[in-house]
A and B are shown apart, each in its own frame.
Chain A
Amino acid sequence: MESSIISISHLAKNYGSFQAVKDVNITVNKGDVYGILGPNGAGKSTTIRCMLSLINASAGSISLFGHDIKTHRKEALSKIGCIVEKPDFYKYLSAETNLAIFGRMAGADVSKKNLHKMLSFVGLQGREKDKVSGFSHGMKQRLGIAQTLLHNPDLIILDEPTTGLDPQGIIDIRNLILNLKNEFQKTIVLSSHILSEIELIANRMVIINKGITVVEGSVQALLNQEELLVLFEVTDSKAAVNSLSAYKNIQIIDPHHFEITISKNEIPECIAKLQQAGILVYGVETKRKLEDYFLKLTKA
């Protein structure tokens, strides 16, 4: 049975006359990898900052683990590890000392053994005594994740965890996040500009636009509702289009490729019809993914 550990209801935040967040509603269940999506300025970071009580909400309610963040801040935050925007550390201190400082504040075990274990988990073994000033962005991101894990929180919040990383760094962080979910059964909330990241990692998501929740739910369920643009590679595209004449929105690309707009469930049916017509199918590529869905919703 799913139990909600984050419940945000009608969240609003005003800066003077400017409404950064108007009406955000979020429900995160235990064990979720939950993606927060939205264009720049949509209110994602403001929502995360409100969740962590870094910003005082103008209206609405935020409940973490059943605790109201306004009245039971300490209880709520004791179960959370987070990186907001980018992992900033005391550059003049070593990785180990930085971890110890933030660990002490969270009531974590800051013994050398535990600190080294965490640094090792994020791939920073051997760099314990090095000053953070010499760390790359990717290393700081890893150190940030070590910092979030030190007090063994149930929920990890990562704001744009892959921003500024090179392709290998993005893959490393993605694997680290999946490891946290699969091995440590952590609930993870992450926002990202890279929409494909959310599609690869998250099981549930919310799309925020102009400070309002546009849609929330299971990533797969939301995507399955949508019609996909499917590219077929066949022996004869003209014959294939004729055999699929019952379908609308079908277009020949070249003698061996055609595109068709159908739902995911209709793909096997199409393939069967093509086979019945003696047309061989060499490849099927679904082109409408999260980015198309995201753009459709945010542009609307």
Chain B
Amino acid sequence: MAFADHPRQEILLPVKRSFIALTFIVALVLNLIPLQNVALAAWPDFIALALLYWCISQPQRIGISIAFGMGLLMDIGDASTFGQHALAYSIIAFVALVLHRRLSNFGPMKQAPQIGLILIAGQFIILLTGLLDGSHFPGWDFFLASVSGTLLWPFLSSMLRIPQKPRSDTDAR
């Protein structure tokens, strides 16, 4: 059947503005956790993941301007060149907004590889700006963050959906 793997279309409750804000704050805190060596390299970019999720599920409310703002905050936290993350996040938010109708047709598992490609594109932009600034190539483990982000996507996207699930247990079906 053509629609066999199509996710069951649930009618979700509207997302609260405060919940979106909370996810971004939590993502920023998770990005700022002090880590070392391998854990640091493999730590996924939670802000990018949150941005992608909200751009795909709430394209009317979360857009490039919020991506840009989160990028600026991340630049402060990372002590990197001002605008580096802002550029990357703006571009991945744009890609997600363009593809949101297509992506929301897939279940979380099938979205993951496509999300992975967008994450790699975002990291590539950061790498490019770093190289233009005269840095060395930091090594391939730089892209580990995208891999771990891809692996985490199904889990995260189903978790962010929980608060919007309608409480249907009292309703007769």
| Pair from one complex | no
